[in-house]
Structure 1
Amino acid sequence: MSSTRPSATALASMIDHTLLTPEATHDDVATLIAEAREYGTWSVCVSPSMLPLNVDMGDVKLAVVCGFPSGKHTSAVKAAEARDAIAAGADEVDMVINLGMVKEGRWADVTADIAAVKQAVPDPKILKVIIESAVLTDDEIVRACKAAEGAGADFVKTSTGFHPKGGASVEAVALMANTVGGRLGVKASGGIRDYETACAMVEAGATRLGVSSTAKILAGAPQA
């Protein structure tokens, strides 16, 4: 590990404090937001049906998932979902690509799917593109990242955290970071449950972390 490891404050500023379980309630989301304000996380990430949020967010941003978790929705449905989320106050949208299109090599369609959602998430709003890296070959990871960049996305993101193949890996994050070369952000998400793993993802090139174990992660970080 690097000798310059992020403090709890620095790491919190990179975290999307996340609650995407199907049984989550509005009270659970209110608790999530209170925690995010206490920890100083960048955002909370929630399901679209939880909007609008009638809770004081303070400085915490609001991220909302789209086409989640399968990505198999039509582009029109994904775009409508994203548009509704933005209208209801979302600052960022995390969309899932159509993995079947990737496996079929339909790269123009993958790009068009992302572009349709980006039209519904105008700047300065942020679009993150979930590529479900654990399901993809290295070549597919590279091409999916290039499709996201070509469609005008702002971030590429490893995982939903719901796929049985797994979540983020250091190798995938490094490959994604190398591919986008700092032009897009890289969000590592899925299976990050402690400070050591969070540091490994950051060192590999992650600029944002999607986690639900925020308290445990920050408890392991230097407090300075």
Structure 2
Amino acid sequence: MDIKKYLDSTYLKTSEEAGLTENESEIIAKGFIQEAIDEEFKLIMIRPNRVALAKKMIVEANSNVKIGTVIDFPGGNSSISAKLDEAVQCIQNGADELDFVCNYEAFKNGNIVLVQEEILSGTQLGLDNGKVVKWIIEVAALNANQIAQLTTLIKNVVVENFADNLFQSVFVKSSTGFYKTQADLPNGATVPTITIMLENAGPLPVKAAGGVRTYEEALQMIQLGVKRIGTSGAKAIANGQKSDSQY
């Protein structure tokens, strides 16, 4: 199996989070972008401030690698207008895919209307500009019922408001990989959480992000039915090795 077409190679740490200077952080980001080009991964997932850099490198290399970025990352609790403003800037800088962090805390607090509105407006913006949109639900912050309910909410908003030929361009995505769990519990994709998402997302595709560190784990996710896998250890996974990455 050509597993590379499923892999979104990911580098999302800020310089502060990585304990690096801005220059050191940019060097690492460039390395991830170049690796995605060299390895012909599906996509490079990068912070908004690196989108223009990725676009420049990919164009210069005459590469087909897509550029993904994260919106309202990692908390997801900004206003809808702030989310849209950030997304517009990323589109202008050359992003192909927009991974919005859903306001899962608002969802947990019962503010369903706000969540529906941000799903609708963010998806509309992305699709109107020919972009793929993904909604990160942060499974580690939710229980099983909440995972099912939020996945279903996203599915329903998309199915009720957009043409069926666009459904494959709107994903439900498991995790940011940055959520702080207690007792070192998994903060990314697991088989149980992905299974719940798959049971409730269809006809929308699902992306498993975080926690996939080996070829075997990636293959298991693909066999379950996911269409994308987000990992900062894409090369190791593609080469059949175990990634030592935390995402």
| Higher mean C-alpha displacement, 18-27 vs 133-142 | 18-27
1:129 to 116, 135, 158: 135
The alignment of Structure 1 onto Structure 2 pairs a total of residues equal to 212
Could you say which residue in structure 1 is the equivalent of 2:27? 27
CA contact (8 A) 1:111 1:150 kept: no
List runs of 5+ in structure 1 lacking aligned partners.
1-6
Could you say which residue in structure 2 is the equivalent of 1:142? 148
Question: What is the TM-score when the length of structure 1 is the normalising length?
Answer: 0.89
Write out aligned runs for 1:54-93 (5 A).
54-57=56-59, 58-93=63-98
CA contact (8 A) 2:123 2:170 kept: no
RMSD: 1.6
List runs of 5+ in structure 2 lacking aligned partners.
16-23, 159-168, 182-186, 242-247
| Higher mean C-alpha displacement, 21-30 vs 113-122 | 21-30
- SS state of the match for residue 212, structure 2? coil
Shift of 1:15: 0.8
The structure carrying a bigger helix percent of its residues is 2
User: Could you list the per-position Cα deviations for residues 128-183 of structure 1 after superposition, in whole angstroms to 9, with x for gaps in the alignment?
Assistant: 000001221222112211222233370000000011231111111111111122x1
In 2, Cα distance between the equivalents of 1:195 and 1:21? Answer: 23
- SS state of the match for residue 98, structure 2? strand
- SS state of the match for residue 192, structure 1? coil
Higher relative contact order (CA 8 A, sep 6+): 1
CA contact (8 A) 2:58 2:64 kept: no
- SS state of the match for residue 114, structure 1? helix
In 2, Cα distance between the equivalents of 1:179 and 1:62? Answer: 27
- SS state of the match for residue 122, structure 1? helix
Shift of 1:109: 1.7
| Higher mean C-alpha displacement, 54-63 vs 68-77 | 54-63
Query: Which amino acid is the alignment partner of residue 198 of structure 1?
Result: A
- SS state of the match for residue 230, structure 2? strand
